[in-house]
Amino acid sequence: MALPKRILKETERLIADPAPGISAAPHEDNLRYFDVTITGPQGSPFEGGIFKLELFLPTDYPMTPPKVRFLTKIYHPNIDKLGRICLDILKGE
């Protein structure tokens, strides 16, 4: 199955002009999977922290949001024990 042009364009833009403190790289064997690293912002309690995540773009993206999972252990009321984001708005409810 070919990758939609939208995902290719967004990936190119993400690599060419990354958001400050965030890096994302697609897997070579599946361009829908990304390895993401977020660094803690300066002056915040997270300064110096490095948070690793994985991101997957479902086949019906952008109509369905990406699936994100924290690989770095994190405590947050909206993150479950497996690192998944648990917000009803992202689950279509």
DSSP assignment string, 18-83: PPTTEEEEE-SS-TTEEEEEEEPPTTSTTTT-EEEEEEE--TTTTTSPPEEEESS----TTB-TTS
Q: Which of 8, 15, 86, 87 is catalytic?
A: 86
Is 27 one of the annotated active-site residues of the chain? no
Residues with active-site annotation: 86
